[in-house]
Amino acid sequence: MQKTQQKSEARIEIEPDFVWDAQDAYLFDIDGTLMRSRDRVHYESVAASVHRVTGFEITLAGVLIHGSTDTAILREACRQAGIPDNILEKHYDAILEAMRNSVAERRNELDPELTPGIEEALRHLAQKGALLGVASGNLEAIGWIKIEKAGLREWFRFGGFSDHFPVRPELIGHAARKARDLVGIKGQDGPSICVVGDTPLDIEAARANFLSVIAVATGKYSFEELLRSQPEACVSSLQDLLAVAPGTR
């Protein structure tokens, strides 16, 4: 059993017409939403892989990390380091593969901390018949390694990752299409799909795809910062959301 973060002050805001646990499918972000990493394995894989493949030195200092994608982070770090575009494109696939291999080789060093209530929330939604998937800025192989290490793999049937989608709205759209295919026809408007994430970029990506969103303040961003983006539900943690009567304020 993985450790979980300590519970903080409970805060919950839910739109009156949004039944948070009655959606057909849910797309969960990984970092900051399912878990927090108490290691630097994934973080260090980017610079190490660029150097291994190209010989160039890069840093992630000054690069937006939270809510971004591995592929966007890689491109921005290389741009800041002055690596010519033609060099990056030539070695791009090899760098991504080196990142996947780096994390796989160091998987025993991964030290995930589950966010409060995440296992209970996944169990609750699954028992209600919801389809559970992942929509993460991680590369796919890295994302699944993290989820397996955290002991959460059994809950998820599919995922959408950043291997081919540096822009998060496109990644969310890809994951949502997978969800629709798996759920099948559900009424005139199709299945209801909800994004669960911890950053304003998760909310923006959901909005770009006309999806509802549950924002959880278990990552870098505060409850107030997330609430400003007007998600259907904004909560201090899924543990606190579970403490209220299902689907109610």
Q: Which has more pLDDT, 69 or 249?
A: 69
Output the pLDDT for position 246.
56
Phi, psi of 17, deg, nearest 5? -100, 10
Output the pLDDT for position 44.
97
Answer whether 30's CB lies under 8 Å from 147's CB: yes
158 membership: H or E segment, kind and range: strand 158-160
User: Which strands make up the sheet holding 25-28, listed edge to edge?
Assistant: 12-14, 233-235, 212-216, 193-197, 25-28, 131-135, 158-160
End-to-end CA distance of the chain: 31
Instruction: Please give the average per-residue pLDDT across 108-136, as a whole number.
Output: 97
Using the CB atoms, write b or e for 74-104: b if 16+ within 10 Å.
Answer: bbbbbeeeebeeeebeebbeebbebbbebbe
- In tens, the pLDDT along 12-21 reads 999 999 999 9
Q: Which CATH superfamily is domain 12-37+112-243 in?
A: HAD superfamily/HAD-like (3.40.50.1000)
Answer whether 58's CB lies under 8 Å from 77's CB: yes
- In this predicted structure, the answer to whether residue 115 has a pLDDT above a threshold of 70 is yes
Number of helices (H) and strands (E) in the chain: give both, helices first.
Answer: 9, 9
Q: Is 56 left (phi over 0), alpha (psi -120 to 50) or beta?
A: beta
Q: What is the mean pLDDT of the chain?
A: 93
Distant-in-sequence, close-in-space partners of 87: CB < 8 Å, separation ≥ 6 = 54, 56
Quote the tokens at residue 148: 């397996």
- In this predicted structure, the answer to whether residue 162 has a pLDDT above a threshold of 90 is yes
- In tens, the pLDDT along 125-142 reads 999 999 999 999 999 999
The rounded percent of the chain whose pLDDT value lies above 90 is 90
- Cite the residue boundaries of each domain of the chain with CATH code 1.10.150: 41-109
Residue 6: burial class (beta carbons within 10 Å; 0-12, 13-18, 19+): exposed
Output the pLDDT for position 249.
44
Distant-in-sequence, close-in-space partners of 209: CB < 8 Å, separation ≥ 6 = 169, 172, 173, 176
- In tens, the pLDDT along 181-197 reads 999 877 667 899 999 99
Q: Is 142 helix (H, G, I), strand (E, B) or coil?
A: helix
CATH match of 41-109 with 1.10.287: no
Strand partners, 114: 4, 35
Q: How confident is the model at residue 4 (pLDDT cuts 50, 70, 90)?
A: very low
- Cite the residue boundaries of each domain of the chain with CATH code 3.40.50.1000: 12-37+112-243
Least confident of 5-9, 35-39, 73-77, 151-155: 5-9
